Chain A
Amino acid sequence: MTNVTIGAPPTDKAMAAEKRPATRSKLSRQRLRSAWIFLTPMLIVLALVAGWPLVETIYYSFTNASLSNIAGAEWVGLRNYYEYVDYGDGEGEYFGLFFDSQWWNAVWNTVYYSAISVSIETVLGLVFALVLNAEFKGRSFVRAAVLIPWAIPTIVSAKMWAWMMNDQFGILNDMLMTVGLISAPVAWTANPDTAMWAVIIVDVWKTTPFMALLILAGLQMVPGDVYEAAKIDGIHPVEVFWKVTLPLIRPAILVAVIFRALDALRVFDLIYVLTPNNTDTKTMSVFAQENLFQFDKFAYGSAASTFLFLVIAMITLLYIKVAKLDLGGGR
């Protein structure tokens, strides 16, 4: 049970209809033709909104396009990624994305943020899911409550938390001071030591329900008699969890993790609203957006976008390989 399939594999039943001998070739030809007729509109739309823009972004990353002059962009090769500028007096310097420490800082921030928040969300989501999987009074109420953060738009959650984390009038400081965890108000979003954690807290709050639901779905597929058998054998519940439950829901967790990770790696809105312009939380998407639209470095921003795309693609492929995920829909 190491291979995971998202969605059921195509059933042979579905294909069977095509194999009735009498009408087979004519029918399957007709069906094949309509398949492509059905697919074409969708493919055209996807090519227009995803394919072509991606190609354009990559193209701009090799030009000198500026926001005010996109049409007049000229090919400059790798200059946005890598360039040596000779100052003419024997001195020179390397420029470009590969030599931009702020870019690497953004890459690091993104990876750090994604790794930490997804890890916390997975553990917390697992706890939530285990609780929701148990039989107890008011379970449907709790399940409904857990869904609330997920339904709240990211921008709204960012604003809500920004207010709760306000350094002067925020309720979070008040709570922690009442409990005695901190002695003076903390400026959550301003302090460089806590800014990233502020972002992570909001993200964990918002997306743990998602994790919990996906894992819960996995848990519910575990047949009840497994637990019965374990109980009869007198195995400790903790051991049952590690030895039986976890391996069985591992596929569900792995899928949930990759979806969340891909989402975390492209984070933009939360950071844009909660900690604007803060170098400690600047992620790749924010860096790219800033260069594209605020610094008149459209080409450089495009280079950052392209790089980000490659990073995400690489992480995804690596993960799929390491976790042995089968995303092909089964063949």
Chain B
Amino acid sequence: MKKALGFGVALAALVAAIPASAVELSIALGSIGQDVQEMRSQLAKFEEETGHTVKLVEMPASTTDQFGQYRLWLAAQNPDIDVYRTDVIWAPQLAANLVDLSEAMADRVDKHLPSVIESQTVDGKLVAFPMYTDAPALYYRTDLLEKYGKEPPKTWTELAETAKEIQDKEREGGNAQMNGFVFQGAPYEGLTCDGLEWVASNGGGQIVSPEGEITINNEKAAQALEMAKGWVGTIAPEGVLAYKEEESRGVWQTGNAVFMRNWPYAYPLSAGDDSAVKGKFDVMPLPAGASGESAACLGGWNLAVSQYSQHQEAAIDLVRFLTSEQSQKERALSTARLPTIPSLYDDPEIAEAQPIVARWDEVVATAVPRPSAPTKGQYNEVSKEFWTAVNETLAGRGNAADNLDQLEKRLRRLKRSGWE
């Protein structure tokens, strides 16, 4: 008996001595800007610290494409991906397949923005933990605005006027490639953000209200979309109808746009050495509509652990590592990704390296969420219907009022007796 006990103790000691046995983890994330490089450097530190190895599964930049694949993999109960980087809007749709992190993160939860934590909590289950939050900015060319004696625009109307004037004069001056404004007009999740911003900034609501009512079919929303339609082919290139984040950044960063709507990740890249706009630009919150206030779409990415992961413990460790204060700070320093820990917005080092971060806490605090919570598992389709309606309006297929009327009908069909 004693012998057996001794053996047991020895075994336990032996097991404890091997540092939780190194495992191989996989993390899936979309690659936009410098996200992949940034993740690589963080993973290297994690590997060194824990002895685990982590494989990166790179995904296309489009949120919509990522979501399609992730949903498929989770449905296939794929054990080969342990950690997913998830968009803020995905929580309700993927909740069933993700591990509840509320216990593992209990000591951390209070440090983060409550609204973000809440967005990742579905029926009391914390399905993902925030890596960074996101709220867009209006990028503008300080040199061009100065050259033509313009002020940064406070409203969309001002933006359109300024953009038109500068674009036309620049083109006359031989700069044929110049565009007034670039944004994300391709039919995908990003357009839902852009469209929601136009509508919300004009007082047109949030597509579906927090109570689940379909509110999109209103005059202010129609006005907002008509306004945006007026930009295509005048201040924005016609190709904007196929632009996602990276395409718009491509035009902006080669010096061919006066204004750009994009996320903060573009800030350090625009300020990079091979950027044509280095030192010639600044950012500000998005303009306001005629009957409303500036509205920024709430974005942000989180980390979730798959229920089908065979190394959930290690995966949770990885999530803890990548969402820690230290990691968030480094991420903000190198790529201007916005932290979800409020105190970091006052961090002098970050303010020095990436001024946009320090200036953005107000924008984040007032950002408008997409209706992923009220529409539950059907958000993806709601969003598809919305971005399709917006894209068609921008492309000149029917007018905004008719398209929104149609959209409302489609959404009603989706909803039937209630969102599920």
Contact = CB atoms under 8 A, between A and B. Distances in A.
Q: Do A and B come from one complex?
A: yes
Interface of A: 67-68, 70, 85, 87, 93, 95, 166-168, 185-187, 189-192, 275-279, 290, 293-296
B42 interface: no
B101 to A, nearest CB: 20
Contact of B392 (A95, A187, A279): A279
* Interface of A: prevailing SS: loop
Interface in B364-410: 377, 380-381, 384, 387-388, 391-392, 395-397
Given A67-B75, A276-B65, A279-B392, A168 B188 contact: no
B241 A68 contact: no
Contact of B238 (A187, A275, A290, A293): A187
A294 B395 contact: no
A295 B380 contact: yes
B97 A68 contact: yes
Contact of A189 (B67, B242, B397): B242
Given A192-B392, A277-B186, A295-B380, A67 B71 contact: yes
A296 B64 contact: no
A277 B377 contact: no
Contacts of B68: 290, 293-294
Contact of A168 (B75, B97, B256): B256
A67 B395 contact: no
Interface in B242-264: 242-243, 250-251, 256
Contact of B67 (A190, A275, A279, A294): A294
A167 B238 contact: yes
Nearest to B187: A277
Given A190-B243, A296-B71, 11 more contacts: A67-B71, A67-B72, A167-B242, A190-B186, A190-B241, A190-B395, A191-B238, A277-B186, A277-B388, A293-B68, A295-B380
B70 to A, nearest CB: 10
B177 interface: yes
A185 B177 CA distance: 10
Interface string B318-355: 00000000000000000000000000000000000000
Contact of A68 (B74, B238, B243, B396): B74
A106 B350 CA distance: 50
Contacts, number: 87
Contacts of B71: 67, 293-294, 296
A187 B256 contact: no
Contacts of B199: none
A182 B350 CA distance: 49
Nearest to B94: A68
B381 A295 contact: yes
A295 B62 CA distance: 16
Contact of A186 (B238, B380, B396, B413): B238
B416 interface: yes
Contacts of B381: 295
A192 B237 contact: no
Contacts of A187: 237-242
A166 B387 CA distance: 22
B395 A192 contact: yes
Nearest to A87: B417
Interface in B66-121: 67-68, 71-72, 74-75, 93, 96-97
A166 B239 CA distance: 8
Contacts of A191: 238, 241, 395
Nearest to A293: B72
Contact of A279 (B186, B187, B396, B413): B187
Nearest to A67: B75
| Chain B interface residue bracket vs A | 35 or more
A278 to B, nearest CB: 6
A43 to B, nearest CB: 28
A282 B65 CA distance: 15
- Among A68, A166, A189, A277, max chain B CB count under 10 A is at A277
A189 to B, nearest CB: 5
A190 B413 contact: no
A67 B70 CA distance: 12
Contacts of A277: 64, 186-188, 384, 387-388
22 contacts: A67-B75, A70-B75, A95-B416, A166-B239, A168-B256, A186-B238, A187-B237, A190-B186, A190-B240, A190-B395, A191-B395, A192-B395, A192-B396, A192-B397, A275-B242, A277-B187, A279-B391, A279-B392, A290-B68, A293-B68, A293-B72, A294-B67
Nearest to B397: A192
Contacts of A276: 62, 64-65, 186-188
Contacts of B238: 167, 185-187, 190-191
A251 B74 CA distance: 49
Contacts of B67: 294
Contacts of A190: 185-186, 238-243, 395
A85 B250 CA distance: 48
Contacts of B380: 294-296
Given A186-B238, A190-B242, A95 B395 contact: no
B397 A168 contact: no
Contacts of B250: 168
Contact of A167 (B62, B97, B187, B237): B237
A68 B71 CA distance: 9
A195 B64 CA distance: 20
A277 B184 CA distance: 14
A277 B67 CA distance: 13
B112 to A, nearest CB: 28
A295 B414 CA distance: 11
B93 A296 contact: yes
B186 A168 contact: no
Given A168-B239, A168-B251, A192-B395, A68 B75 contact: yes
Nearest to B177: A168
Contacts of A167: 237-239, 242
Nearest to A95: B413
A185 B72 contact: no
Given A279-B392, A296-B71, A68 B242 contact: no
A189 B97 CA distance: 36
Contacts of B397: 192
A187 B187 CA distance: 14
A187 B247 CA distance: 13
A68 B416 contact: no
A290 B65 CA distance: 10
